[in-house]
Amino acid sequence: MPGPIEITHWHWAGFILCVVLFLALDLGVFHRQAHVVKFKEALIWSSIWFTLSMLFAAALVPLRGKTEAVQFVTGYLIELSLSMDNVFVIALIFAYFRVPSQYQHRVLFWGILGALIMRGLMIGAGAVLIQRFLWTLYLFGAFLVFTGVKMLFVSDEEIHPEKNFILRLAKKYFRVTPDFHGQNFSLRNDGGFMLTPLALVLLMVETTDLIFAVDSIPAVFAVTTKPFIVFTSNVFAILGLRSLYFVLAGAIEYFRYLKIGLSFVLVFIGVKMLLAPHAAPEKWFQVDISSSASLLVVAAILATAIALSVAAAKREARLARGKSKPH
């Protein structure tokens, strides 16, 4: 039986080319005209992106082996779950700026394109750092444990655009129109170049994703240090973020315990990274948690958090109906 193929520059180029093609079709064909994305349409697109992700994982089995396929699925699941937390923050940003529903997809499209570039650079830097200084895995692990514990006690139910450095910088050097101008991010008039409020929303979305990437990318490095698997799992999760937003944004009450679940996920993978033998083979205590076991633990934590959230929402709905009935 032949061994796994070697990942070359051609594989990277081919994957990136496919992503660019998908994005071009998305904006140039399927969403050329600004429109409100309905739940059914978003659910179909979410299913398409999930199916493509699983097909990619299946293709990895004969090409790179079952272990890397499981690592991809685990990384994808971690990124997708952390993206769900990002979805709710984006919903707050859209509500704060009162972004019309028909323009939200365009913001998410360009926001995700920027996120792919930023994450690609961060993954490349992280891979080089780990290759040269293997002990940095300890730092990543400790950071994830700290972030997971902190997530339990810090609320992000409010956003503060006035504290956003990038936003303040944009307002300092560019004039901003008071109103939206369709789906345009900028315009020119007699006074010169101006940004629209939609451009400020895009900057908020980009900086928000950058903050989330600081947590999520080290989390995938806990699963695997192979850059191609880390990058592809990130890309598939981010590509599905747009449709995921339109599926979940209206059902936030059904995910009230998701943040708690995510905090446990971050703590788990942080501890996994701290105990992994590849981090420091000579340390006196180490535990090698397999990729399959990691996938099961992460999936179980997230499933439990979502199940408890749905059960709590349904219980409150029943109580509300009971109180509204005449006695």
Work out the burial of residue 261: count CB atoms within 10 Å of its CB; fewer than 13 is exposed, 13-18 middle, 19 or more buried. buried
- Per-residue pLDDT tens over the stretch 14-41: 999 988 888 877 766 666 666 677 778 8
pLDDT reported for residue 57? 94
Give 52 or 286, the one with higher predicted confidence.
52
- Per-residue pLDDT tens over the stretch 55-68: 999 999 998 989 99
Lowest mean pLDDT among 61-70, 188-197, 318-327: 318-327
The alpha carbons of the chain give a radius of gyration, in whole angstroms, of 21
Name the phi and psi angles at 187, rounded to 5.
-160, 165
E-assigned strand segments in 148-215: 175-176, 186-189, 192-195
Q: How confident is the model at residue 43 (pLDDT cuts 50, 70, 90)?
A: confident
Residue 278 has pLDDT above 70, yes or no: no
User: In whole angstroms, how far apart are CA 171 and each of 82, 177, 196, 208, 279?
Assistant: 30, 11, 11, 18, 44
Residue 317 has pLDDT above 90, yes or no: no
Q: Is the dihedral of CA 289, 122, 76, 263 positive or negative?
A: positive
The arithmetic mean of pLDDT across residues 226-243, rounded, is 88
In the chain, DSSP finds a helix count (H) and a strand count (E) of: 11, 3
Residue type, 121: L
Q: Residue 143 in contact with residue 218, Cβ under 8 Å?
A: yes
CA distance 214 to 237: 15
Mean pLDDT of the chain: 82
**Of 97, 47, 50, nearest in space to 77 by CA:** 50
Angle 66-97/291-324 helices, nearest 10 degrees?
40
pLDDT reported for residue 325? 64
Strands 192-195 and 175-176: parallel
Residue 163 has pLDDT above 60, yes or no: yes
Can you tell me which residue has the tokens 């730092």? Answer: 139
Q: Residue 274 in contact with residue 136, Cβ under 8 Å?
A: no
Lowest mean pLDDT among 12-21, 153-162, 206-215: 153-162
CA distance 103 to 228: 33
Residues 6+ apart with CB under 8 A from 56: 72, 232, 236
pLDDT reported for residue 228? 92
Write down the pTM of the prediction.
0.82
CA distance 320 to 139: 47
Residues 6+ apart with CB under 8 A from 281: none
- Per-residue pLDDT tens over the stretch 90-118: 888 888 888 888 888 888 888 888 888 88
**Of 81, 92, 89, 93, nearest in space to 216 by CA:** 81
Give 210 or 37, the one with higher predicted confidence.
210
CA distance 63 to 54: 14
pLDDT reported for residue 217? 84
CA distance 15 to 7: 11
Residue 119: CB atoms within 10 Å: 24
Question: Could you tell me the two tokens for 319?
Answer: 């109580």
CA distance 324 to 312: 18
CA distance 178 to 194: 10
